[in-house]
Structure 1
Amino acid sequence: MGKARKRTGRALALAAGVLAAGVAAAPAVAQPASLSGTVTPNVAHGNPAPAGAYPFAVKFTMTGIPKPDGTTYDSACSGALVSRQWVVTAAHCFHDVNKKPVSGPPQYKKTTATLGKVDLADKGGHVLDVVDVRQYPNSDVALAKLASPVTDITPIRLARTAPVTGATLRLAGWGATSADGAPATHMQYGDVTVTKRTQYTVLVEGAKPSSDTSACSYDSGAPYFRRTATGPVLVSVESDGPGCPHTGAETTSRIDTIASWIDRNDR
């Protein structure tokens, strides 16, 4: 599948702590995606998600993405179910032929969302078409509408307060497990630490299982969340960063400052 990282395809390959899936705004490199269902045995310093973990985490699969020369490529992104029929992800995952993020039905041949499983070979879960997209105007965030409501998975709650510097967040998703790899077929996860925030972003750095735990190709839109006694709370989604794995800052898009916009649009 097409990959990219800097505002391009991303897929959590926490090469050190890890996850998966993402498209992008920069040119994506055409690459075959592995959809065999084989579990990558040991993601570098990462953790394969155990059965039943993070059912709200979404793997987007995009096929037939148009290029200006008339050819197409395939890619992937991650996201998180925030209501019965809507998934939050990165804005740059859904764009036109010129890589400009756009609202409306995806301009690709087909886009599907997989959720409710930790491995593509698992039975159950859901694979649903994406039928509409709504772009937030000032941040790298979009909402993707599923073809039908999901009633057996609890959507993740949205953060309503600012993230605290030093807080630990968990990243979970689908995607490459190395900078040049294809999207993973088994969900991965890892922990990061909040190092800074701006009006629309949260910067994070790898924490566990390694200091270079980081998002990777095909990972755009992957959820970063707080774990609480009453369930996970979505703090931000993957946006941009250096090549993976890395020990520097990763840029994620903040949720609490746009939660009211999500509330108005995810219905």
Structure 2
Amino acid sequence: MTKRALIAAVALTAVFTPQAGAVARGVDVADGQYRFNARLTSGPTQVCTGALIGAKWVATALHCMASGEFGEAVIGATTSDGAGGQRRRVVSYTGSDQADFAVAELDRPAEGITPLLVGSTAPKPGDVVRLVGWGKTGGTEVAKRLQTGQFVVDRVDEWVLGVRGWGPNPNTSACASDSGGPYFAERPDGTAVLVSVENSGPLCPHSELETTSRVDPHAKWVGQLINKGATDR
């Protein structure tokens, strides 16, 4: 895995043709919950979602990096004005050669926020995962408050997972600007483990299959990236 040039990212965007963005038919996230969330912006209109997986590393979708205008990440906020969050610049990214998955590097570490663990084992059909996202809620405007919903794993392919809405509604679904949003398993001990990131799906809200990129096939190089970054600081 290498830092991707703009031309490579644009080519991959054409392959995936993403349509996804906030969580439609989901629920508001309470203040202080899921502080590993990242709201990514570039240019005047592009909004994506991501998750802090290391002090200065954010997992997201590769197509979110395609513009070359890396922009800003706000970590740990629950409202779109960024209140209570930590603002950082995105300075580079490393992308997968096989899937719509990337890790963005921040200009400096986030402080006092526990990163989301990166899963290293494949999920199974029937597993329930949670998504948090900054996309649209089914209307025309991007969410003002972070949204969340639960999904059930329907299909496990080599590089992608297919998931369907599970709660609070069968048509809870990712929507525009949820791209890159983390799907994570919630363990009984309270630990959250990243399973996949949002790529694309039908127009929201919907109860059909949503396409997400598995992270476990990338766990080794992601771990090497994070550990190298910690050594470099």
> TM > 0.5 between the two?
yes
SS of 1:218 mapped into structure 2:
coil
1:214 corresponds to 2:173: yes
| Alignment partner of 1:265 is 2:229 | no
User: Following the alignment from structure 2 to structure 1, what is the Cα–Cα distance between the partners of residues 50 and 135?
Assistant: 12
Instruction: Give 1:91's aligned residue.
Output: 62
8 Å CA contact 1:175–1:183 kept in 2: the answer is: yes
AA partner of residue 52 (structure 2): L
Q: How far does residue 261 in structure 1 lie from its aligned partner after superposition?
A: 1.5
Aligned residue in 2 for 1:256:
216
Task: Verify: 1:115 aligned to 2:75, yes or no.
Answer: yes
**2:147 is aligned with 1:188:** yes
Q: Distance in 2 between matches of 1:182 and 1:130?
A: 24
C-alpha distance 75-156 of structure 1, shift in aligned 2 (>3 A): same
| Partners of 2:80 and 2:145 within 8 A in 1 | yes
TM-score by length of 1: 0.75
Structure 2 partner of 1:15:
24
Which position in structure 2 is the counterpart of 1:241?
201
Partner of 2:43: helix, strand, or coil?
Answer: strand
Contact 1:116 / 1:125 at 8 angstroms: preserved in 2?
Answer: yes
Q: Does 1:54 align with 2:34?
A: yes
Shift of 1:115: 1.5
1:140 counterpart = 2:100? yes
Q: Is the Cα contact below 8 Å between 2:133 and 2:177 reproduced in 1? A: no
TM-score scaled by length of structure 2: 0.86
Stretches of 4+ aligned residues off by more than 6 angstroms: none
Mapped contact 2:132–2:147 kept (Cα < 8 A): yes
CA distance in 2, matches of 1:9, 1:243: 7
| Alpha-carbon distance, 1:265 to partner | 2.0
Contact 1:9 1:75 survives alignment (8 Å): no
The 8 Å contact of residues 195 and 216 in structure 2, kept in 1 or not, is answered as: yes
- Tell me the distance in 1 between the aligned counterparts of 2:180 and 2:221: 17
* Distance of 2:40 and 2:142 partners within structure 1: 10
Structure 2 residue aligned with 1:80 = 51
State the match for 1:177 in structure 2.
137
1:223 maps to 2:182: yes
Distance 1:217 1:90, change over 3 A: same
Does residue 183 of structure 2 align to residue 199 of structure 1?
A: no
Q: Equivalent residue of 2:219, what SS?
A: helix
Distance 2:216 2:190 in 1: 18
Aligned counterpart, 1:68:
none
Structure 1 distance, partners of 2:30, 2:120, is 28
Unaligned runs of 5+ in 2: 1-15
Q: Flag the structure with more relative contact order, 1 or 2, with Cα contacts below 8 A and sequence separation at least 6.
A: 1
Residue 122 of structure 1 deviates from its aligned partner by 6.0
Q: Write out per-residue CA displacement over residues 65-124 of structure 1, whole angstroms, 9 at most, x where no aligned residue.
A: xxxxxxxxx21111110000010100111115xxxxxxxxxx22x611111121134632
Q: Percent identical across equivalent pairs?
A: 36
CA displacement at 1:157 relative to structure 2: 0.3
Following the alignment from structure 1 to structure 2, what is the Cα–Cα distance between the partners of residues 187 and 128? 18
* Match in the other structure for 1:167: 127
Aligned-residue Cα RMSD (Å) equals 1.5
Distance 2:201 2:82 in 1: 31
CA distance in 1, matches of 2:175, 2:127: 21
Contact 1:175 1:185 in 2 (8 A): no
1:232 equivalent to 2:203? Answer no
**SS at the partner of 1:265?**
helix
Shift of 1:151: 2.3
2:91 aligned residue (131, 150, 153): 131
How many residues were matched structurally? 211
Q: Compute the displacement of 1:263 (Å).
A: 1.1
